[in-house]
Every structure is written in structure tokens, then in C-alpha cells.
Amino acid sequence: AETTPWWKNATIYQIYPASFKDSNGDGIGDIPGILSQLDYIQSLGVDAIWLCPMYDSPQYDMGYDISNYEEVYAPYGTMADVEALIAACHERGLRILLDLVINHTSYEHAWFKESRSSKANPKRDWYIWKPPRYDANGQRRPPNNWRSFFSGSAWEWDEVTQEYYLHLFAVQQPDLNWENKATREAIYESAMEFWLRKGIDGFRVDTVNMYSKDPSFRDAQVLDSSIEWQAAPHLFCNGPRIHEYVREMGQILHKYNAMTVGELPHTPQVADVLSYVSAREQQLSMVFQFDIVDLGFSRSQKYDTVPRNWTLPELKQRVRSTQHLMEGTDGWSTAFLENHDQARSVSRWGCTDTPELWARSAKLLAMLVASLSGTLYVYQGQEIGMVNAPAEWPVSEYKDVESINHYKFVRESTADDSVALERAKKALDHLARDHARLPMQWDGTANGGFSSDGAKPWMRVHDNYQLLNVKRQTLDPDSVLSFWRKMLRVRRAYPQVFAQGSFVDTDSEHGSLFVFEKIGDEQRLVVALNFTAERQAVDLETHLGSGSHKILIKNCEAGSLHELQPYEGRVYIVA
């Protein structure tokens, strides 16, 4: 008989090492800090942890710029600490995934140092080097108009060898040249097998669809003529050789029985997603689709946006398309609302106007995401309803390269125009990656218990830590944390409907209520969620039908089948 792999019904807890728990008072979270909280992590009822990069790195992009795949970033701990963490997880029956960042390395990686040293170096071709173009005035220009994810041109000029190198992300993150077989083999050995041999259970694969670029390196279409550099994802995502590469990786992973969750931005078509996760392809176990978290971003520019620039019908449509990927196919996917690149979900999709609505809407979002099919991911702090950094904080509190570069770009391109800068700050307050990177709030003591008293955390601790923290919520049976624990227990008890059921939306155009069903072989769920701060009329009687039903979880005392309270949510099971 076919056995379900462990990861299908699993919930995976994502840890951002710098911001989880600082064990030695230097203000930076670390591996011993994670080890000290394994009881807590396990108490949530999760099956595995995913650790964001903890490799050696100059930290221009928080460790997504790796200078040595086979060393641990010293402030996080030692190799022995990581080995101890792997062993401690396994002793408890928890699995552990590491982050695999192989589209690019740090510019301080030994490979890049060699590559940039001369055109004749044997590793020259390990990165993507191109000669300049010249404009009508004889001015040197980059090889094309591609924009980097972190603002500006995606090309950097190198004085020594008089060529440009490609960097889709920061200047300090040169893209590897996957066309070169020796490069691929070195990546597989150093970044993958080195860690697989240590017994990890799999990888979260960073930017997995960007290894193969359009070989023409042609200019991207001009979407916004006011900006010099254009978004070009269609020219470097899902390129012509991508499946050859991912299949090659899959063969190695297969030897170790390792699972993978690949990051799949800029891939809205279900057929394209399926080409990575269809079981018979043996490429990736599952992917992170961006349909939901990218809702409201403009095509040319993430921060060209205003708060609450989404509607419930749009959100439902994104949920539906990701859920349908798994129906009637042999593909698998994920359910998530947060990660280290996203603003806090309760600030984005819920309501933080009052403490009551904050708690209720955080629970509502828990019911939404934990009722969806696919492997469930919970990001540290989500389980206590952590919120975005206060808008009153000055822009200098933003530390992320994406935020800093965007603000700088606006400042320089508008000559310090205060209206433009205010708009840029608002966009950051709403969507910056920094919000997810504030220190974890453990208790009401100094630094929220993240770091010892007197230490200076690398990012400022949220002002609300005395009210919003793990310790306080552990003692309160009605807290967001207690709710998440119950939610995960319920999900685990009925995998056929929660993790594997088919998703049926019921009134996709309704602008206030999200009522959907999950159909399993013997049972079905009815999930009713009110996404507004007003009471809403509903007809649950019709949805529940004549079979026997009971409430599995709810965030409000009321029980009318005809009305939902502000941000009320309920999950029924119907036999």
C-alpha cells in the first residue's frame, strides 16, 4: 500500500536564528538559544523545524549571502552546536530542515574571489560575467536593463577585469553560473551533501526557480518608464534548463530520502508549479507559492503600494488557486501566511485596532491557514500574534538591505522630496521584511526575554513586549498561543480534511465573509470567517446540512447559525 510521506500532514516551525533567542547577551540570537527552547517548540505540536541560514556569512542579506557553506556563522555558534541541535531534535522525534541558498553566494566566498581575480581563472565561468554595452554617447552601460530585487541595476562593474557580474539580489550576492557542470557539482557537494551526511531531514530551497536564466540576457519590457531598471522575473525565473537542474538535485536528495520545499516566486500558472512538484517528476516535495503573500504588490515594484490594498474576493481567489494545485493531481504544496520576508499577518490581513480584535483576528488567521491543504508552516512569533513594528519608529530602525536600498533609491531619485519619502516610509511600515525580524517576545522582562538585561539586541524589541509575549500567553487559556496549540491538535486529529481535503469556496464574491468547505472521504469541514469589524449575517444552516455536525474550534462565544461577530471564526466538522 502507498504510504503517506511524513511531511504531508506535518506542521513545520520556521526559526530565524538572529531573532529567536540570544543565549550569551551579545544581542544576536544563536544556536544554543534555539536548543534552550526546544521544549517550547515541541509544546506547540509541530513536527519539524526549518532553520534559516546559519552558515558563515558577512551578513549583507542576513546569511542569504554565504561565504562558506561548510562553516557556521560564529556569532550563532559552532559546528558542534549545530550537530547538537540536529541530535537533540532527532531525540525528540522532531525533524530538522536547513536553508539551501545556491542561486548565489557571498562575494566573499572563495569561489567568487577566484572568479573575479582574472578572466583566465579556472573559476571565471562559475559566475555570470558579461562585457559592457556602450550608449550613443560612448558611456559604459550594464549588459541589460534588469533591476535587482534590492533596487538598482542587477549588474555590478568590476574594475579589475573590466566586466560586469550579475546579482539578482544585493551587490554582495553574485549569481552562480549553473550552466557550468563543475559549478553544479561543487554546489551539490559543499552546500548539500556536506549537510545531508550530518543527518538533516531536508532543505528549504531558496529561489529554486532562478538557476536557469534566459540565455539571451535581453532587455526586459519597460513597465515603468520613470525607473531606469526594470523588473525582469520572466527572464530569470523558470528558464530553459531549470528542470534539468532541479531533477539533478532531486537525484542527490533522493539518496538521503530528504524532503524539499522550494521557493517559487513569480510563478502564477498552476501547470508551471506542477512541473516542479508533481510526484512522478521527483524534483521537489513541495513549494512555497507566492500568490497569497504577493497580493497587492504592483508588477513593477513591491513597495509601490498603499496599506490594505487588497480585497477579500482577491484573497479568496489566491487561496483557491493554490489549493486547486493539489486537486486531482499528484502534486503537493504548502499553506503559510508568514515567513522572514513578510510583514506580520495580523497587521496585514487582520485588525490591530483594539487588543480584543487583535487577538480575535490573529485566531481567525490561524483558522484560515491551518484549515488549508498542504504542509503547514508557522513562522516564529506568529503563534503569539506578533505585529509589525510601530509606525512611529524612525526609518533608521529598518535594518534590512531591501528596506534600506528602497528608501535610499526614493531619496536619491526624488531629490529628498518629503511627500515621496513619507510614502516610502508608509510602504515600509506596511510591508518591510524587517517586521518579521524583530526579536521574539518571550516574557515581560527587559528585552522581552530575547536577550539578557543590559544587552543591546541587533534589532529593536517591539514596544508591546510586556503585553504580548510567550510567558503571558502560556498562562492564559484564551490566548492566541493557546489557540494555536489547540488548532494544531485539531488539524492533526483530522488529516483527511485539514491537510488533504479538497477546497471548495462557497461565495467567492462576498466581500466580508470567507466561508469555505474542505471535503474528505468521510467528513467535511465548514470554515466560516468574518474578515470585518462588523457583525455579518450568514447562513450556516445551509452549509451544515442535515448531517451531524460539531464545532472543532472557534474564537468567540456566540453560536448563532445566522450571524458572525466581528472577526469571528468557526470550524465545524460534518459527518
What residues are annotated to the active site? 206, 263
Closer to ligand TEU at the Cβ: 201 or 206? 206
DSSP helix/strand/coil, 339: coil
Among 22, 56, 341, 383, binds ligand TEU (CB under 6 A): 341
Among 16, 55, 146, 149, binds ligand TEU (CB under 6 A): 149
Size of the site for ligand TEU (CB under 6 A): 14
Subset of residues 311 to 350 that bind Ca ion, contact rule: CB under 5 A: none
8 Å CB contact between 444 and 466: yes
Query: Is position 433 an interface residue for ligand TEU (rule: CB under 6 A)?
Result: yes
Subset of residues 4 to 23 that bind Ca ion, contact rule: CB under 5 A: 22
Among 10, 15, 18, 28, binds Ca ion (CB under 5 A): 28
Query: Is position 402 an interface residue for ligand TEU (rule: CB under 6 A)?
Result: yes
517 binding partner (options ligand TEU, Ca ion, none; Cβ < 5 to 8 Å by kind) = none
Distance (Å, rounded) from C-alpha 489 to C-alpha 553?
A: 10
How is residue 484 annotated by DSSP?
Answer: H
Distance (Å, rounded) from C-alpha 114 to C-alpha 121?
A: 7
Subset of residues 62 to 81 that bind ligand TEU, contact rule: CB under 6 A: 64
* DSSP-assigned beta bridge partners for residue 340: none
Residue in the structure block whose three cell numbers are 554595452: 133
30 binding partner (options ligand TEU, Ca ion, none; Cβ < 5 to 8 Å by kind) = Ca ion
Q: Which of 11, 10, 15 is nearest to 340 (CA)?
A: 15
Shortest CB 432 distance to ligand TEU, Å: 9
36 Cβ contact partners less than 8 Å away, ≥ 6 residues apart = 21, 23
Torsion of CA 358, 363, 364, 369, to 10 degrees: 130
Closer to Ca ion at the Cβ: 33 or 262? 33
Among 24, 42, 278, 300, binds Ca ion (CB under 5 A): 24
Shortest CB 17 distance to ligand TEU, Å: 13
433 binding partner (options ligand TEU, Ca ion, none; Cβ < 5 to 8 Å by kind) = ligand TEU
Distance (Å, rounded) from C-alpha 229 to C-alpha 226?
A: 9
Closer to Ca ion at the Cβ: 30 or 99? 30
Query: Is position 30 an interface residue for Ca ion (rule: CB under 5 A)?
Result: yes
Burial string for 132-150 (b: 16+ CB within 10 Å, else e) reads eeeeeeeeeebbbbbbbbb
Query: Is position 207 an interface residue for ligand TEU (rule: CB under 6 A)?
Result: yes
355, exposed or middle or buried, with CB in 10 Å at 0-12, 13-18, 19+?
exposed
Closer to ligand TEU at the Cβ: 333 or 555? 333
Q: Distances from the Cα of 341 to the Cαs of 8, 57, 294, 367, 462, in angstroms?
A: 24, 18, 11, 22, 18
Q: Which helix (H) or strand (E) holds 68?
A: strand 68-72
Shortest CB 48 distance to Ca ion, Å: 24
Stretch that binds Ca ion, among 29-37, 58-66, 241-249, 539-547 (CB under 5 A): 29-37
Closer to ligand TEU at the Cβ: 55 or 484? 55
Size of the site for Ca ion (CB under 5 A): 5
151: phi > 0 → left, psi -120 to 50 → alpha, else beta; which?
left
Q: Which residues bind ligand TEU (CB under 6 A)?
A: 61, 64, 101, 149, 169, 206-207, 263, 265, 302, 340-341, 402, 433
Q: Which residues bind Ca ion (CB under 5 A)?
A: 22, 24, 26, 28, 30
